[in-house]
């Protein structure tokens, strides 16, 4: 703590200590006030300004120092100054003193409290940003919590000083008036308890609840306003309880839940059932990663005591059949497709329509059926689950030269006879890293270009470095801090047959007597192109046969009526904590809603959207993002839940780090996978888990135990006390917990235990 804070804290504590040491509290009792009433009144009549100023300063000091006795001083204000002046003086003095206490707590304590409880305070501050004034007003009106506690607690938040002062001035006014008025009848008071009758307390409660009720009324008025333009077209009855737009993870789960609770639901999909994950993302990429990993293991079979087989060699050995690899990818998609098929969801009670949905008004969806015709459905609720598409940067020349994305490469590359010889991967996020490593293992000369200073910027620095090292070990040329400028076509070349017959190296004349035909001398376009990048002020040229854009994904926000009915959008559809758009009966989930672009998050949101849509009149639930896991399936895998170190530092959250190296794990050694680590962030001095990062084989699977622990409030001691099968990779979690326990041994107790054993030996 800084010196100026320590000085202020010492002054405040000294003043409070002096108050109690000198027994000044005896002057703040009802008996003393009644005995001294006439003396104070006479003094006020002789020196009104001096008495009023002294009273004001004393009231401010007592309130600012949070010393008990404000009630007696308030009564004194009424007894000495009367109701009018007493109320005026006390109102401003109490608000000023409360604000000084608020500022003192903020100056002295807030930084240290934020360092220890940053994440909890973040949630509180977010709530106060929206409704802080309402809640403070209620607390001021309903004297359940002592005012000095409110002053100090609010100082630890980010509530603005002006808001605190004004709300306190208004909120305390009613209670102040009651006590000042009671002070004018001082001679009739027998106890402080007699001031607040049950009826008066009930009135305060009603006053306190009023702002919250008013907020509800305002919400209802706003709801009516947003629907006002559509009042003439609101149906009296509805065809469906729910219409879901999009059959990716979010849409499928929304429709499934609705059907499970016997609601009438229609699911509309314009393209393929299963959405991006099944057809273009999770499933095909993991199938490719598996084939690439097996190819890598075959090339390094000597690590397992076997003879290495180099499927990339052209020295008489059978090369990799890239067509077969891509055929397997599509076979995997086909094998999983029934899980998300029209037939399955129809059997579950979902009506599935293939076509393009457009929201006509908040209760009407028009579907252009793929086979022709239109169908119009009225519905109580709508869930938008339209997903996202790859973002293609506006690079000059990119469209002319050609490129693939994580959506289009599966069809395009399936037509190739062999793996692209030179592949440029534009982007250093999870998708780019997974695909760069996989194609390098299958034989491509891969160059990965990332504008940022490192790969996978959301992960800790050491994680990014480890992934980059792994990619380089597989032959990927990793170029960070390289900015893509433009794409150029490669120069055309002479027809190869003509050049071979004539010895021509350019467009020189044919040998005497030879008259080459026009086709032979035409330049032949060269597939691929050149990516021009900038690094440290210089331009570099990278030739490629194929260019893969993997620089992120953007939500699909157009084409289904959002703009027509005025639903606000930014990078995603704007929603509240209940996943509602500006229209409370229209929800958004998944990539189109954010904030995470994960299949499992879309499914997670879908539960909230479906339940809120169907049962929101009874009970609504705020979407919970407190424990969201994710994984990047490079080799080694990177999996994470909660905070990592860079997040904790950015948010000002205090933490301890416990680390266990997987290179020490028996099963990892036996599998020749002894690399990576488990890193756990905990609350200082406690085993409560703030976040976990795992790097290593099957990291995504290992993470599940920590996700469960964080979700249900289990600490590292519980993980340490759980039996883990030997020898398995899951023991890494137990050993990480053991590292934490070892670092928090009760050293003093163990010293006494040692002495006990020494004594037992005689």
Threshold 0.85, pTM exceeds: no
> What mean pLDDT do residues 572-580 have?
95
More confident residue, 273 or 222: 273
pLDDT of amino acid 8? 74
The CATH number linked to 370 is 3.50.50.60
Instruction: Examine the domain organization and report whether 642 and 729 are in the same domain.
Output: yes
576 has pLDDT over 60:
yes
Does any domain span residue 204?
A: yes
pLDDT of amino acid 212? 58
Does any domain span residue 26?
A: yes
> What mean pLDDT do residues 350-367 have?
96
More confident residue, 521 or 186: 186
pLDDT of amino acid 506? 40
First-last CA distance in the chain: 49
> What mean pLDDT do residues 624-630 have?
93
Residue 486 belongs to domain spanning? 411-506+517-546
pLDDT of amino acid 80? 86
**Count: domains in the chain:** 4
Does any domain span residue 421?
A: yes
- pLDDT grade for 498, boundaries at 50, 70 and 90: very low
Instruction: Examine the domain organization and report whether 54 and 107 are in the same domain.
Output: yes
Instruction: Examine the domain organization and report whether 274 and 352 are in the same domain.
Output: yes
CA 421 – CA 445 distance, rounded (Å): 6
Among 167, 20, 165, smallest CA distance to 102 is for: 165
197 has pLDDT over 60:
no
pLDDT of amino acid 513? 45
> What mean pLDDT do residues 242-249 have?
96
- pLDDT grade for 118, boundaries at 50, 70 and 90: low
Among 289, 552, 280, smallest CA distance to 428 is for: 552
Instruction: Examine the domain organization and report whether 483 and 590 are in the same domain.
Output: no
Specify burial of residue 417 (Cβ count, 10 A radius: 0-12, 13-18, 19+). exposed
**Mean pLDDT lowest among 202-211, 291-300, 531-540, 688-697:** 202-211
C-beta of residue 551 within 8 angstroms of C-beta of residue 484:
no
In degrees to the nearest 10, what's the CA dihedral of 35, 38, 41, 46?
-130
Instruction: Examine the domain organization and report whether 271 and 365 are in the same domain.
Output: yes
**Max avg pLDDT among 48-57, 80-89, 138-147, 346-355:** 346-355
pLDDT of amino acid 190? 58
- Helical segments of 261-374, H only: 275-279, 282-299, 322-336, 342-347
- pLDDT grade for 508, boundaries at 50, 70 and 90: very low
Per-residue model confidence as pLDDT tens digits over 388-439: 999 999 999 999 999 999 999 999 999 999 999 999 999 999 999 999 999 9
pLDDT of amino acid 194? 55
CB proximity list for 107: less than 8 A, separation 6 or greater: 5, 8
CB proximity list for 354: less than 8 A, separation 6 or greater: 268, 269, 270, 342, 369, 370, 371
Does any domain span residue 227?
A: no
CA 290 – CA 278 distance, rounded (Å): 16
C-beta of residue 121 within 8 angstroms of C-beta of residue 88:
no
pLDDT of amino acid 316? 46
pLDDT of amino acid 215? 61
Does any domain span residue 232?
A: no
545 has pLDDT over 80:
yes
CB proximity list for 198: less than 8 A, separation 6 or greater: none
Q: Can you read off the two tokens belonging to residue 91?
A: 């109102």
Instruction: Examine the domain organization and report whether 462 and 595 are in the same domain.
Output: no
- pLDDT grade for 505, boundaries at 50, 70 and 90: very low
Instruction: Examine the domain organization and report whether 383 and 469 are in the same domain.
Output: no
CA 703 – CA 707 distance, rounded (Å): 6
Does any domain span residue 230?
A: no
CA 28 – CA 565 distance, rounded (Å): 64
CA 386 – CA 559 distance, rounded (Å): 10
Instruction: Examine the domain organization and report whether 143 and 19 are in the same domain.
Output: yes
The CATH number linked to 700 is 3.30.390.30
- Helical segments of 688-746, H only: 699-711, 716-720, 731-743
Instruction: Examine the domain organization and report whether 40 and 11 are in the same domain.
Output: yes
Instruction: Examine the domain organization and report whether 54 and 159 are in the same domain.
Output: yes
- Three-state SS string over 540-584 comes to EEEEECEEEECCCEEECCCCCCHHHHCCCECCCECCCCCCECCCC
519 has pLDDT over 80:
no
Torsions phi, psi of 704, nearest 5?
A: -55, -35
Average pLDDT across the chain, whole number: 86
Instruction: Examine the domain organization and report whether 133 and 245 are in the same domain.
Output: no
C-beta of residue 249 within 8 angstroms of C-beta of residue 275:
yes
More confident residue, 40 or 85: 85
pLDDT of amino acid 429? 96
> What mean pLDDT do residues 554-576 have?
94
Could you give the percent of the chain with pLDDT greater than 70? 85
pLDDT of amino acid 470? 97
CA distances from 201 to 95, 142, 288, 487 (A): 21, 8, 70, 75
Among 634, 635, 653, smallest CA distance to 643 is for: 653
SS3 659: strand
Does any domain span residue 228?
A: no
pLDDT of amino acid 144? 60
SS3 495: coil
Instruction: Examine the domain organization and report whether 151 and 274 are in the same domain.
Output: no
Q: Can you read off the two tokens belonging to residue 471?
A: 């990619």
Does any domain span residue 757?
A: no
669 has pLDDT over 80:
yes
527 has pLDDT over 90:
no
**Mean pLDDT lowest among 101-110, 308-317, 469-478, 707-716:** 308-317
């Amino acid at each position: 703590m800084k010196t100026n804070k320590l000085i202020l804290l010492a002054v405040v504590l000294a003043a409070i200590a002096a108050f109690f040491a000198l027994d000044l509290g005896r002057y703040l009792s009802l008996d003393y006030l009644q005995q001294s009433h006439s003396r104070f009144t006479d003094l006020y009549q002789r020196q009104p300004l001096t008495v009023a100023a002294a009273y004001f300063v004393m009231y401010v000091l007592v309130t600012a120092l949070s010393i008990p006795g404000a009630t007696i001083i308030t009564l004194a204000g009424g007894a000495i100054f009367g109701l009018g002046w007493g109320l005026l003086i006390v109102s401003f003095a109490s608000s000023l003193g409360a604000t000084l206490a608020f500022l003192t707590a903020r100056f002295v304590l807030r930084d240290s409290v934020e360092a220890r409880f940053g994440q909890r305070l973040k949630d509180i501050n977010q709530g106060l940003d929206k409704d802080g004034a309402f809640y403070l007003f209620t607390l001021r009106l309903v004297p359940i919590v002592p005012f000095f506690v409110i002053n100090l607690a609010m100082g630890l938040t980010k509530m603005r000083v002006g808001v605190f002062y004004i709300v306190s001035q208004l909120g305390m006014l009613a209670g102040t008036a009651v006590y000042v008025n009671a002070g004018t009848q001082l001679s009739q008071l027998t106890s402080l308890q007699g001031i607040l009758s049950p009826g008066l307390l009930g009135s305060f409660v009603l006053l306190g609840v009023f702002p919250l009720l008013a907020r509800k009324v305002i919400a209802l008025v706003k709801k009516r306003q947003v629907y006002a333009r559509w009042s003439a077209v609101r149906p009296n009855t509805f065809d469906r309880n729910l219409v879901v737009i999009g059959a990716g993870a979010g849409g499928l789960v929304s429709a499934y839940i609705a059907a499970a609770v016997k609601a009438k639901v229609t699911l509309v999909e314009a393209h393929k059932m299963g959405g991006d994950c099944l057809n273009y993302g999770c499933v095909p990429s993991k199938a490719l990663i598996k084939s690439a990993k097996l190819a890598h293991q075959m090339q390094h079979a000597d690590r397992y005591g076997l003879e290495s087989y180099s499927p990339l060699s052209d020295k008489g050995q059978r090369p990799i059949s890239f067509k077969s690899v891509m055929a397997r990818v599509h076979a995997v998609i086909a094998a999983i497709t029934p899980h998300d098929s029209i037939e399955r969801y129809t059997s579950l009670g979902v009506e599935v329509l293939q076509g393009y949905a457009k929201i006509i008004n908040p209760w009407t969806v028009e579907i252009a059926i793929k086979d022709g015709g239109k169908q119009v459905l009225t519905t109580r609720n709508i869930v938008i689950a339209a997903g996202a598409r790859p973002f293609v940067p506006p690079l000059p020349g990119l469209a002319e030269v050609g490129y693939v994305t994580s959506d289009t490469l599966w069809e395009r590359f399936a037509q190739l006879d062999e793996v692209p010889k030179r592949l440029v991967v534009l982007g250093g996020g999870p998708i780019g890293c997974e695909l760069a490593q996989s194609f390098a293992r299958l034989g491509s000369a891969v160059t990965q270009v990332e504008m940022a200073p490192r790969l996978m910027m959301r992960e800790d620095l050491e994680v990014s470095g480890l992934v980059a090292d792994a990619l380089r070990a597989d032959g990927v040329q990793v170029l960070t801090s390289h900015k893509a400028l433009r794409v150029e076509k490669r120069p055309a070349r002479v027809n190869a047959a003509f050049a071979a017959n004539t010895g021509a190296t350019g467009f020189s004349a044919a040998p005497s007597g030879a008259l080459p035909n026009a086709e032979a001398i035409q330049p032949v376009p060269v597939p691929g192109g050149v990516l021009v990048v900038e690094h440290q002020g210089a331009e570099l040229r990278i030739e490629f046969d194929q260019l893969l854009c993997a620089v992120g994904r953007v939500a699909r926000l157009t084409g289904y009526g959002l703009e027509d009915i005025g639903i606000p959008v930014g990078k995603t559809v704007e929603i509240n904590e209940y996943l509602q758009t500006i229209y409370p009966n229209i929800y958004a989930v998944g990539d189109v809603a954010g904030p995470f672009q994960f299949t499992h998050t879309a499914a997670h949101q879908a539960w909230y959207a479906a339940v809120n849509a169907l049962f929101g009149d009874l009970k609504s639930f705020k979407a919970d993002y407190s424990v969201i896991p994710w994984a990047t399936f490079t080799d080694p895998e990177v999996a994470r839940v909660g905070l990592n170190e860079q997040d904790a530092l950015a948010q000002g959250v205090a933490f301890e780090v416990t680390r266990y190296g997987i290179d020490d794990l028996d099963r990892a050694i036996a599998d020749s996978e002894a690399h990576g680590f488990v890193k756990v962030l905990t609350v200082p001095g406690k085993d409560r888990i703030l976040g976990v990062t795992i790097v290593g084989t099957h990291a995504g699977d290992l993470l599940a135990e920590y996700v469960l622990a964080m979700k249900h409030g289990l600490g590292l001691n519980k993980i340490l006390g759980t039996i883990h099968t030997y020898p398995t990779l899951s023991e890494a979690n137990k050993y990480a917990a053991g590292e934490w326990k070892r670092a928090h041994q009760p050293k003093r107790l163990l010293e006494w235990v040692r002495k006990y054993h020494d004594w037992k030996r005689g």
